[in-house]
Amino acid sequence: MSGQQYDLKSNPATVFADVTVAQSAYFLSLIIFLCSIPFLFLGTGFFIVIGAVLIVLAFIDAANIATLTFTTNCTADNDQLIIRYGLIRPVRATIPASAIRHIAVDQSWIGSKFKYGSIIILGDDLGIRLQYIKNPWIAVNAIKGSLGLG
Closest CA to 75 of 131, 14, 30: 14
pLDDT in tens, 108-149: 998 899 899 999 999 888 889 999 999 999 999 988 888 888
Q: What are phi and psi of 123, to 5 degrees?
A: -115, -170
Task: Report the C-alpha dihedral over residues 119, 100, 90, 6, rounded to 10 degrees.
Answer: -130
Question: Domains in the chain: how many in total?
Answer: 1
The CATH number of residue 84's host domain is: 2.30.29
Cα–Cα distance measured from residue 28 to residue 120, given in angstroms and rounded to the nearest whole number: 21
In sign, the C-alpha dihedral spanning 20, 106, 112, 142 is positive
Average pLDDT of 35-50? 84
Mean pLDDT of all residues belonging to the chain: 83
pLDDT in tens, 8-39: 444 456 677 777 888 888 888 888 888 888 88
* 9 lies in some domain: no
* 150 lies in some domain: yes
Residue 91 near residue 67, CB atoms below 8 Å: no
* 8 lies in some domain: no
pTM of the model: 0.77
* 10 lies in some domain: no
